[in-house]
């Protein structure tokens, strides 16, 4: 079983290695649903453990409407291995909609590297999946572990900056943005699994799933 939890581990690189800096543990989970069904449209959720947690709720709400595949990974957006994972996730099945996010991993990645990685990802998807409708999802907030403090000032500033970059690139390319950051920000302290956790309780996951389902239905509409 591959590890599912989102990790804020320290990035490391072996001496003399050509690999990019990575977390101490890297993981990826693939999910292909109802693989023999060729009647319903298929959608793909690309993201991390946040995505992995709301995927079943999205699938439940889209039952009979679309099959919901997923790639959840710890890879940073600038890691070449991430594009390889995306290539595998999109290789066999056509996806009417691809709902994608990457931002809560790779804390060592600079804003310039993040934008370059995002543009490479979108270029790959457009080339490999020309019929797919792409939807970018903003990264969710980083809550503070300190009592009486809502947001982790340093880490959340990185997320805000990445979301701004993604918003600008998405607007440039004409892609819709699903603002999951805004969906959970107002009640963040009541929606996280525990104080300072990146993950969400059932209500938090449900709110995100409902926002994802809404935008997917909009994209599936004729």
User: Distance between CA atoms of 73 and 92, rounded to whole angstroms?
Assistant: 19
The string of pLDDT tens digits covering residues 70-122 is 999 999 999 999 999 999 999 999 999 999 999 999 999 999 999 999 999 99
Closest to 58 (Cα-Cα) out of 190, 186, 178: 178
Which domains are delineated in the chain? Answer: 28-220 (3.40.50.1110)
Report the b/e string of 106-135 with b at 16+ CB within 10 A: bebbeeebbbebbebbbeebeeebeebbbb
- Token pair of 164 as six digits: 């701004």
Contact 142, 152 (CB under 8 A): yes
* 3-state DSSP assignment of residue 85: helix
pLDDT in tens, 157-193: 999 999 999 999 999 999 999 999 999 999 999 999 9
pTM: 0.91
């Amino acid at each position: 079983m591959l590890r599912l939890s989102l990790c804020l581990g320290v990035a490391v690189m072996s001496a003399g290695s050509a690999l990019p800096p990575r977390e101490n543990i890297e993981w990826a989970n693939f999910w292909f649903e109802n693989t023999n069904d060729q009647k319903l449209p298929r959608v793909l959720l690309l993201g991390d453990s946040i995505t992995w947690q709301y995927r079943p709720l999205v699938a439940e709400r889209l039952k009979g409407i679309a099959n919901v595949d997923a790639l959840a990974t710890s890879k940073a957006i600038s890691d070449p291995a991430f594009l390889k994972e995306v290539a595998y996730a999109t290789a066999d099945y056509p996806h009417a909609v691809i709902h994608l996010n990457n931002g809560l991993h790779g804390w060592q990645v600079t804003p310039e590297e993040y934008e370059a990685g995002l543009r490479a990802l979108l270029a790959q998807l457009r080339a490999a999946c020309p019929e797919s409708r792409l939807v970018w999802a903003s990264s969710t907030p980083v809550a503070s572990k300190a009592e009486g403090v809502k947001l982790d000032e340093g880490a959340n500033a990185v997320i805000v900056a990445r979301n701004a970059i993604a918003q600008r690139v998405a607007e440039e390319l004409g892609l819709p943005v699903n603002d999951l950051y805004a969906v959970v920000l107002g009640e963040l302290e009541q929606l996280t699994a525990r104080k300072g956790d990146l993950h969400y309780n059932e209500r938090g996951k449900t709110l995100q799933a409902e926002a994802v389902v809404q935008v997917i239905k909009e994209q599936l509409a004729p």
